Amino acid sequence: MDYKTLAHKAVEAKSNAHPPYSNFHVGAALLTQDDKLYLGNNIENSTFGLSICAERTAIFKAMSEGERKFKAIAIASDSPDFITPCGSCRQIIFDHCGEIDIICTNAKGEYKIFKTSELLPHAFGDKDLNK
Ligand code: THU
């Protein structure tokens, strides 16, 4: 799947967003190395800290189905600015997806592509454990 299509899938995923508190709708589309697609959206809770971002929803859905190898994730919101993953999601992407392409879209459907290491340089990870 090309990245324009993946970005469009993230826009579609946004329609299931559940952000009653922030009203900030986010969708994510995660592509596996063998071209399978997993969608996610943000889901907020009355205890705000329990809310989950769109990226993590997509990653955990995929991992719970046994997926471990990923190629790219696209993210969409209604913002005119290019949306990039929050700090927590950058760590989750680093830990579980590795060095993938992160497709950050704006409300016009334009996108910029970043590598994980560009958004989370000098990351802490499993390599730092068990020393
Ligand atoms: N959010 C995401 O789902 N992904 C991002 O990349 C940024 C933020 C969600 C979390 C919360 O539900 C709302 O957007 C406002 O922060």
Task: Give the DSSP H or E segment for 28.
Answer: strand 26-32
Secondary structure letter of residue 52 according to DSSP: B
- Please give the distance, rounded to the nearest whole angstrom, from the Cα atom of residue 2 to the centre of ligand 1: 24
Q: Which residues pair with 112 in a beta bridge?
A: 104
Atom of ligand 1 nearest to the CA of 43: 12
Is 110 a residue of the active site? no
Contact 71, 101 (CB under 8 A): yes
Query: pTM for the whole thing?
Result: 0.97
- Please give the distance, rounded to the nearest whole angstrom, from the Cα atom of residue 55 to the centre of ligand 1: 9
- Tens of pLDDT along the chain (131 residues) come to 999 999 999 999 999 999 999 999 999 999 999 999 999 999 999 999 999 999 999 999 999 999 999 999 999 999 999 999 999 999 999 999 999 999 999 999 999 999 999 999 999 999 999 76
